[in-house]
Structure 1
Amino acid sequence: MTFANYPSLSGRVVFVTGGASGIGADIVRAFTGSGAKVAFVDIQEEAGQALAADLAGAEHGPRFFRCDLTDIEATRAIIAEVGRQLGPIGVLVNNAANDDRHEIDDVTPEYWDWSQSINLRPQFFTAQAVRPQMQALGGGSIINFSSIAWRGGAPNMPSYTTAKAAVLGLTRSLARAFGADNIRVNAIEPGAVMTEKQHALWYPTPESVEAMVSRQCIRTVLLGEEIARTALFLGADDSRMITKQSITVDGGLR
């Protein structure tokens, strides 16, 4: 297959959260391969450094910064540093999340707050922090990550699904608030993407993978590359009149 190339992404500064592994790593690879200047953060330092080293030979090798996104001040500082080193950020990809499973009776207030601090809160504060840089550019694109899990009402992850539903409300509010600055805000809702983590924790056997794929209209294993290509489109000028929207990429699972 041959996929689209987006010339408008060449030299554009892109900031990706949770970029060291899984879907995030595929997003880092995709934007780097499109000639963008990518900076990405993750708490997984070894994996982040390895990915940056692997892509160092690209036109613009990506830069990795270790960051715990629950530390808002540290996140703000890194966003400011990226702006100084690479130039104003033109694309923000709020990918980081943790889809931990949990029984309802086991949820404590502390666990609930921890889940929101990873799956929801950083998406607002990163958007707030990049806004001045995008204003300086005359516009930009913010891509938030939701999930189809909330639509089906997954019973074993209520704090996660609550956060992912809230991401769509946040996306619509920010799109309205930032629109006058020519900043677009959209969301992506991935389906059952078969990352290494998903294989290890939730789909450990070929039979378990096939059972999920059989529920999709398109009976093909969903990979992070498909999500990354959607992010490329939303980051590029080709989608310049698309905002306040959510795109589901799930092979027709729902």
Structure 2
Amino acid sequence: MSRFASYPSLSGRVVFVSGGGSGIGASIVEHFAGQGARVGFVDIDEPASKALVEKLTAAGYPTPLFTKCDVRDIAAYQAAIGEVAGRFGTITVLVNNAARDDRHVIADVTPAFWDERMAVNLRHQYFAIQAVAPGMKKTGGGSIVNFSSISYHTMAPQLSVYQAAKAAVIGMTRGLARDLGGDAIRVNAITPGWIMTQRQIDLWLTPEADAALMAAQCLKEKVYPPDIARMVLWLAADDSRLVTAQNFVVDGGRS
């Protein structure tokens, strides 16, 4: 028996996750499937996404619907969201997870780079909300979870454009929580700390960085994707039914 919570309100609920093929997103998809939810997700990594679908199906969970899609293409992205709603029913949980934290220096940033980074880290979140909000209104409410980043709290170097986008997520979350609250749609944000995805481990987890992280965190354990996924589950479930316009930092007490 799992030591973690099970949420009856998530069984059969229709959930959409961006960037669900690997890392934090894959853990979110897996956790929702484990709760009996019907999950649709998009990603640009087709092999990893298909492998995830096969893994969850083999485990006896409801088979997720994967669509290869680049969230920077808003028309294609909203069409993918519509496909999930057409297949499973009204989406009442949206998880805006997709992002990319490529390093950059000020001198190399061009207007095109700025626009592309905003497209992959911020813009798609708004237009996903635009796509699901009408259905949520008609069905009596829903839960939207947007992803920010601890990097702008900690002032991590060479991430200024990414940080601008992720700081903006918090303002967008609060504004939309007000706009949508009258229709019982809750909008919250999660700010993850340094999460030990395979990408982060491969690219940046040196012994020196590991030691600095443990010195900075109150809790002396690394944070992994399931730690974020479980927070998402709570925000999606009826257990958090009167929680909105909030930002939940999951970083082991680093910031």
- What's the TM-score bracket when you normalise by the shorter of the two chains? over 0.9
Q: 1:123 aligns with which of 122, 125, 129?
A: 125
Over 4 Å off, 4+ runs: none
Question: Which blocks of at least 5 consecutive residues in structure 2 are unaligned?
Answer: none
Q: Corresponding residue for 1:105?
A: 107
Q: Corresponding residue for 2:12?
A: 11
Mapped to 2, the partners of 1:92 and 1:155 lie a distance apart of 30
Deviates more, 1:206-215 or 1:169-178: 206-215
Mapped to 2, the partners of 1:160 and 1:106 lie a distance apart of 14
Percent identity (aligned): 55
- Amino acid across the alignment from 1:154: A
Q: Deviations over 1:31-71 (max 9, x none)?
A: 01011001110011111111111111333111111000000
What is the TM-score of this pair, normalised by structure 2? 0.97
Q: How big is the shift at 1:150?
A: 1.1
Question: Which blocks of at least 5 consecutive residues in structure 1 are unaligned?
Answer: none
Q: Corresponding residue for 2:204?
A: 202
Q: Report the 3-state secondary structure (helix = DSSP H, G, I; strand = E; otherwise coil) of the residue aligned with 2:41.
A: strand
Q: How big is the shift at 1:207?
A: 4.7
Q: Deviations over 1:210-237 (max 9, x none)?
A: 3312310000011010000000000000
Q: Report the 3-state secondary structure (helix = DSSP H, G, I; strand = E; otherwise coil) of the residue aligned with 1:220.
A: coil
Q: Corresponding residue for 1:148?
A: 150
Give matches, 1:49-60, under 5 Å.
49-57=50-58, 58-60=60-62
Q: Corresponding residue for 1:223?
A: 224
Q: Report the 3-state secondary structure (helix = DSSP H, G, I; strand = E; otherwise coil) of the residue aligned with 2:21.
A: coil
Q: Corresponding residue for 1:247?
A: 248
Q: Corresponding residue for 1:233?
A: 234
Q: Corresponding residue for 2:86?
A: 84
Q: Deviations over 1:183-215 (max 9, x none)?
A: 000000000101100011111x44532331231
Matched, 1:178 2:180: yes
What is the TM-score of this pair, normalised by structure 1? 0.97
- Amino acid across the alignment from 2:220: R
- Amino acid across the alignment from 1:111: F
Deviates more, 1:129-138 or 1:242-251: 129-138
Q: How big is the shift at 1:30?
A: 0.6
- RMSD, aligned CA: 1.1
